[in-house]
Structure 1
């Protein structure tokens, strides 16, 4: 007699356990990024999460699993922020994880039960599209920025980098999610296995065609760049001692025929307008090395109120007047959003006690003696934004330079993850990128995203010279921009419009319910 009652309870208990597993399933793709760098896992890493969404009993349950999985993914990708944000990171990832709730509903809507071939074909287009839109929204700088975009897991795969030149990191992410979707259908839906295999074949055909047909940049000579990485310097007077070490390392570049010397983010901790002695020392280094020195000043300005992080080019005669102020700041690291409401974050972590000021426009610089070579500087976090490097190249940058400092997260995955972004930005734009840091990882990548020379790890302090190949031409991504995202938005708009139309038709087709009548012809009412 109890068995019929126990079965629903068992099913309900199993459903709760499956929902509780969603954060773990969502966290799995984090293993595809550095440091683990299991890039090949990306093609199946979403499958457990997708199966949980497909099997949800209700649309609301699918949305809940999408939310929890999104929170798990973001927490795993950004786990190295825990020492800085402490418990606050749980709140942030929970809020941002909501972006995947509609995605969870979408997956169930298309693939729950016994979907046919047409539904699977639609899912292969719409599920990746929904993922891209979630990534796009959370890429807004005020929501944390585009750190950990799924396509970025393929930074070291040459065929993938070639595809990135067509549609950026977005196109890579779309293809990866499409493969995962086809695999999930292949595993869970017998009647649609043929459609799933056809979907996998279509993904492979698109990838191979993109790799084979993508144009290549034309070689345009080389430039010799010296990267100065001083290593970890802690304790009293670390700002001045760091400058001394950078100065000593830069002197090692004398006579090595360099065209540009690059220091990392916050490499100069005093405003050069207030410290003419430091400005003169930098000018002397430029004369000694025979090249311009690109430093990064992190200090309170003498000519404007507030603290700025600024890329400053110094030549043999002193500062050239070319200065770029960082435009996109790290939430909580360099400013606290809505400080009047969230200022308490400074008491539970390492959030910024004073907001940095923002720059207003990108800047191109011409190092002295480089015959028209223009460099586009970015500061730290900004190298994660595809649109910033694309804009610099459209304006004429021949070399991208990212100045970074991740010493706060020295023993975490952050330094390697950050350095890997240079490969993607270079491949997307057909312009080499120099990623110079204070304490590692420093790296240089050529116009196809290929690694150039030695990567300077977190245990290295050195002045390294790189023979950097230059290129000419305009990549399809630079020319056409974020077209995969626009196409994804259009596809989802059409789908949602059809859904709304279908709901409206069903409502029209359903006759209105009429109240039951009694034997005397009067309407039955409660209580009568």
Structure 2
């Protein structure tokens, strides 16, 4: 019996024979699975082929559909997951070296049950009803994979498929209703419907129905969803000092930040933001540095939000802290980073995995964690409330939501991607702020040391021109504010719970069917053997 994919190719043609041979060979099939899993990476920045996300999973789905067994489908899912993780995080290779292969192999296992699920829903000759159900089930299974790997200890929610739609206005409107999770569901649902459409003529009707439902849902949210209500604006200046590595780099970076901030005098700004690790000395131990920041705050007429990456005087260990400094010195507002980058800022289970420091550029000492998020009130700006995040934390939807629920009117993400200059990482990171803005209905300032620095309005649209990775300087942005309360802020991760419900319902139906088929008197009689 031919597989569904092979059956569509003329068995007598050389091309058909080559296709069957590739699918039959475990090595060729493994390479095809890894390559198919890597394709969605092209939808993310820097290529940013957002439209490609809606068909990027189709080759992978068709390959899994053709698997001859559930075990083979699971293997195709695992290998494709490895390809996906390596492609989306390839910029980590120079720093983690061979260790990234181990990480990708472990995280790729999350797609193994998804592969089994895909074959169960799409394999063989599914009925029209089963095909239509697959348009809901396959995205739900994918969302469970994204949910598990979004745990900080497994690398966090970097490369969520919905995040590839950061510059697509209808998708951002969906994010305001159900977060990036709802956008992911839409993207995978469209891929599933397209895979059904091209796999068999008998499945075209349910496939078209699935595509129509996706289009109508997006259109309905666009028409009915309320855009953010304007509530004035705030003028925010972002200081990007550029790359300063090597001996004395910390001091040169501070000096450059101070110089660029002084140049903002007379530009009527309400807040100045420096990037992550912009201050490399504890301000309580170096009051002279605090005095210099306070002096530039007086010169500019606005408080300065800096980020201190240093060993704390009053507590053991190194913290990364957002600190607000006004004309009279530090205001007492400080936020300590809570979610740290695995291997970059701490090594999970260091006693076991500490060898990673000798292979790549893993953290030699674990950073310390903060205990709670903080909302700061700006002095002299009618109490404008800002919610700081530090670097990696802008990838987590719940952190921005929590800040908004606590009253933040502006979210500020301080970042540093200088380690990954020349890669896709700076663009990928900056794009996450667009999702966080759309989800929360609040503008997000993504401020970096070396680019990409970008600002997004409450609807996720870009405000002004970003500062790229080859630029250093200061830019002032007129940032629109909003008082809107989005569906995501009010209801949270309901799309995730809906996916849970879909999978639970499927398990229930299949369980009932299995019980009924095994009950006495329900088995079909065996055909009699005819002699003669």
Coarse TM-score class (shorter-chain normalised):
over 0.9
Name which of 130, 133, 136 aligns with 1:125: 136
Preserved contact between residue 19 and residue 52 of structure 1 (Cα < 8 Å) = no
Secondary structure of the structure 2 residue equivalent to 1:21 = helix
Which residue is 1:79 aligned to?
90
Distance 1:317 1:427 in 2: 35
Matching of residue 223 in structure 1 with residue 234 in structure 2: yes
Preserved contact between residue 229 and residue 440 of structure 1 (Cα < 8 Å) = yes
Deviation of 1:235 (Å):
2.1
Post-superposition CA distance 1:364-406 (Å, at most 9, x none): 0011111021000000000000000001001100000000000
Name which of 435, 445, 449 aligns with 1:424: 435
Distance 2:504 2:357 in 1: 41
Name which of 156, 164, 169 aligns with 1:158: 169
Deviation of 1:500 (Å):
2.6
Name which of 33, 36, 46 aligns with 1:22: 33
Deviation of 1:487 (Å):
0.1
Distance 1:63 1:392 in 2: 40
Matches within 5 A, 1:223-302: 223-302=234-313
Distance 1:510 1:231 in 2: 76
Which residue is 1:524 aligned to?
none
Alpha-carbon RMSD across the aligned residues, in angstroms, is 1.6
Which residue is 2:215 aligned to?
204
Matches within 5 A, 1:65-464: 65-464=76-475
Distance 1:11 1:277 in 2: 68
Deviation of 1:16 (Å):
4.8
Distance 1:288 1:82 in 2: 44
Which residue is 1:61 aligned to?
72
Matching of residue 487 in structure 1 with residue 498 in structure 2: yes
Preserved contact between residue 224 and residue 260 of structure 1 (Cα < 8 Å) = yes
Name which of 63, 71, 74 aligns with 1:52: 63
Distance 1:168 1:249 in 2: 36
* Structure 1: segments with no counterpart, 5+ residues: 1-5, 513-528
Preserved contact between residue 292 and residue 368 of structure 1 (Cα < 8 Å) = yes
Secondary structure of the structure 2 residue equivalent to 1:340 = helix
Deviation of 1:162 (Å):
1.2
TM-score normalized by the length of structure 1: 0.94
Deviation of 1:213 (Å):
1.1
Preserved contact between residue 22 and residue 29 of structure 2 (Cα < 8 Å) = no
Preserved contact between residue 22 and residue 28 of structure 2 (Cα < 8 Å) = no
Deviation of 1:18 (Å):
2.5
* Structure 2: segments with no counterpart, 5+ residues: 1-16, 524-532
Secondary structure of the structure 1 residue equivalent to 2:400 = helix
Preserved contact between residue 115 and residue 189 of structure 1 (Cα < 8 Å) = no
Distance 1:41 1:12 in 2: 24
Aligned CA distance change for structure 1 residues 255 and 107 (closer, same or farther; 3 Å): same
Distance 1:101 1:501 in 2: 25
Q: Figure out how many residues of one structure are paired with residues of the other and give that number.
A: 506
Secondary structure of the structure 1 residue equivalent to 2:376 = coil
Preserved contact between residue 174 and residue 182 of structure 2 (Cα < 8 Å) = yes
Distance 1:238 1:12 in 2: 54
Deviation of 1:17 (Å):
2.4
Which residue is 1:31 aligned to?
42
Distance 2:439 2:461 in 1: 12
Deviation of 1:15 (Å):
5.5
Distance 1:349 1:207 in 2: 44
Aligned CA distance change for structure 1 residues 132 and 330 (closer, same or farther; 3 Å): same
Deviation of 1:81 (Å):
0.5
